[in-house]
Structure 1
């Protein structure tokens, strides 16, 4: 939140380099942190519990940042200037998060301690991951889900503005969707204990399919009903996110048995990358592939149209010809 060191190209370069350094440092911390969930316990239910609690605390952190950034930043900086406020909040959150991560790193205990093996090359790791059917199918399912969710979320404000004529209600719907994300996690955690993790995916995805099918059939013409629909959809979508993070650590042992390599950091690192790829695909597909598909459909339907070149002239001649 500090101004760049220069203007023009120098300023842009400073911003880009700063973001790249920040994202690199974030990945260097986040990937090992995620991979730790595979060593806390070898039992899938324990891993699912850890995944659910991580999502729950993540939602709590989202609420704290959303509600506390400006007050905390203003209190620490003693300034009403927005840049100073956000800088103060960023420093506070960074120091707090660093302290928490250090405590976690020094205190957590590993139940799964793999025997030391030579570090595989990048090529060997990629071959192992491609041969890991559990990892590949789980991530493809995740990417399909991310594309669907991204397209849906990007349509929220558009629908409220152009169909319902209420921008404020759209912003309110997004806020309620964020809140229900935290409330739904414990419910899905309890259901997972009863029916299993993979079955939970089918249940949550089935609810999403049913909700969207109902919306397509009847439509929604009031803001309140649309808000309720989106909140219900978000509750189901949270179940899909929970299943992905609960199942991902289990693909490590599957891959170890199938390929002989135990890859932990690579599993979580590549999964995180594929999430970003899916988000980019959703944006690109929304702009390009959906219109492209309907353009292609229009051509297909036009092929069925009988009014080709010269057809209308022949019809006119036939109509003007006296009956024999």
Structure 2
């Protein structure tokens, strides 16, 4: 529900918000149009998350140590650009709104650089290393230009606590659909297009075209209608810092996001190595990816109910407990028992569903919390700050996985030592177990529940009425 008075709300002259829409909920078509954008985004996200390290070591020919450096540098640069992009987006004023222009103009350059990232150039060894650093770093920067505004849209198309959980669940279903396409279809498509380097390049061309069209559909079908800035002044850098620093629920949500990302990255990015080298079943990689993503769909359907029953933080705790059970089961399953590997991997995946959905919904709630504290509404800064730390976690995970592979003695395309096999099990099971245990503990500190959020929205509406009265006198 989008609560609205139709009145202006002004605090300090920095920003002013009009609450629009009355009691109308987002239509199914509006939810669909917003959600399909994340399907396109996840064609890139899952390609890089699941297969880029594998591509670098087994196709491109980089050592695990060099690949670790590429991941670390590219993702740190990527993370640093997030707050900058959030600040730029909050200051953007166009006839399309603050965030939608980036969803319109960003997808084409993103597709081009994604293809370049999965291209093996005809250079010498040094040239290829430089190419990897440059292309993956630029990919991260342009990815930020598109995804930060896309994520921030969720805070301006609705301000209802439970509705955000609902349409974010729809969004995550499409995100999973994109991830499933990559997980199941990428390696077969690589083979169809000629295998190895040329196969990866053409596969990314296909994904780039698909992602561009899906993001353009989001642009066409959304509007920044729940809130409108009605003052001409823009959010300054100092104002942006104020919004973030004092927002305790934001920092708790960021911590949850980071732990969820660490758990997801370790279990998903390690899977191709585990199946190829520990189990000797490289042929099962696409099927495992399909199954562990497919089982998350019913988990996503259950998230709105879990949120209504236990609150968003409570639902995250339920997921963490399920994931920990799955991680323990996976650890004690022998590599020869393929059936149980799939079962416990699926349980681990289902446990990751709540934080995947509710992390984004909880972030949107912190926008109003920051606004009632400071009088400043800055969706872009809130989402970009969270994205900065999420990507920092992804950088730590990606480079950490590559570094751990090197530490455990991994050598691509060779039979691995017992130490390496044990290390792969540690990475795919024990690491997610530890991250989910921390996720459970941190979620206990989250206090921005539905009742508190409703009080905040009412407070903002009442201030808007007072502000309107002051303006009319």
> Does TM-score exceed 0.5, indicating one fold?
yes
Q: In the TM superposition, what whole-angstrom CA distance separates every residue of 1:146-197 from its partner, at most 9, and x where no partner exists? A: 33444555776788799xx634398454542222223421122333244432
Specify the alignment match of 1:59 in structure 2.
Answer: 176
Matched, 1:166 2:279: yes
Aligned 1:1-324 pairs, distance under 5 A = 1-4=118-121, 6-69=123-186, 80=194, 82-109=196-223, 110-116=225-231, 118-151=233-266, 166-168=279-281, 171=285, 173-209=288-324, 219-221=332-334, 222-282=337-397, 284=400
Question: Cα distance 1:13–1:39, how it changes in 2: closer, same or farther (>3 A)?
Answer: same
Q: Which secondary structure does the structure 2 equivalent of 1:36 belong to?
A: helix
1:213 is displaced (CA, Å) by: 6.5
Larger radius of gyration: 1
CA distance in 2 between partners of 1:211 and 1:5 (Å):
44
CA distance in 2 between partners of 1:143 and 1:155 (Å):
18
Q: In the TM superposition, what whole-angstrom CA distance separates every residue of 1:39-63 from its partner, at most 9, and x where no partner exists? A: 1111122211221111111111122
Q: How many residues align?
A: 283
Q: In the TM superposition, what whole-angstrom CA distance separates every residue of 1:287-314 from its partner, at most 9, and x where no partner exists? A: 59xx9xxxxxxxxxxxxxxxxxxxxxxx
Q: Which secondary structure does the structure 1 equivalent of 2:194 belong to?
A: coil
Q: Which secondary structure does the structure 2 equivalent of 1:196 belong to?
A: helix
Gaps of 5+ in 2: 1-117, 408-425, 427-473
1:69 is displaced (CA, Å) by: 4.6
Q: In the TM superposition, what whole-angstrom CA distance separates every residue of 1:62-96 from its partner, at most 9, and x where no partner exists? A: 22234445676788xxx636544443332333233
Question: Which one is further off, 150-159 or 12-21?
Answer: 150-159
Gaps of 5+ in 1: 292-324
Question: Cα distance 1:39–1:91, how it changes in 2: closer, same or farther (>3 A)?
Answer: same
Q: Which has the higher contact order (CA 8 A, sep 6+)?
A: 2
Question: Which one is further off, 184-193 or 147-156?
Answer: 147-156
Question: Which one is further off, 224-233 or 279-288?
Answer: 279-288
* Aligned CA-pair RMSD: 3.6
Q: TM-score with structure 1 length normalisation? A: 0.72
Q: Which has more helix, going by share of residues? A: 1
CA distance in 2 between partners of 1:232 and 1:29 (Å):
32
CA distance in 1 between partners of 2:271 and 2:185 (Å):
26
Q: Which secondary structure does the structure 1 equivalent of 2:389 belong to?
A: helix
CA distance in 1 between partners of 2:185 and 2:273 (Å):
28
1:272 is displaced (CA, Å) by: 1.8
1:98 is displaced (CA, Å) by: 1.9
